[in-house]
A and B are shown apart, each in its own frame.
Chain A
Amino acid sequence: DQQVKQNSPSLSVQEGRISILNCDYTNSMFDYFLWYKKYPAEGPTFLISISSIKDKNEDGRFTVFLNKSAKHLSLHIVPSQPGDSAVYFCAGLLHGGSQGNLIFGKGTKLSVKP
Chain B
Amino acid sequence: DVKVTQSSRYLVKRTGEKVFLECVQDMDHENMFWYRQDPGLGLRLIYFSYDVKMKEKGDIPEGYSVSREKKERFSLILESASTNQTSMYLCASSLNRGANYGYTFGSGTRLTVV
Question: Which A residues form the contact surface with B (CB < 8 A)?
Answer: 6, 9, 31-32, 34, 36, 38, 41-46, 49, 51, 89, 91, 93, 95-96, 98-102, 104-107
Contacts and interface: CB of A to CB of B under 8 A. Distances in A.
B97 A95 contact: yes
Contacts of B53: none
Contact of A106 (B31, B42, B104): B42
B62 interface: no
Nearest to B58: A99
B59 A99 contact: yes
Contacts of B100: 31-32, 49, 51, 93
Contacts of B98: 31, 93, 95-96, 101
A93 B107 contact: no
Nearest to B97: A101
Contacts of A42: 107-108
Contacts of B48: 99-100
B9 interface: yes
B9 A44 contact: no
B102 A106 contact: no
9 contacts: A41-B108, A42-B108, A43-B4, A43-B92, A46-B102, A49-B101, A51-B100, A101-B97, A105-B42
Q: Which of A36, A43, A44, A99 has the most CB of B within 10 A?
A: A43
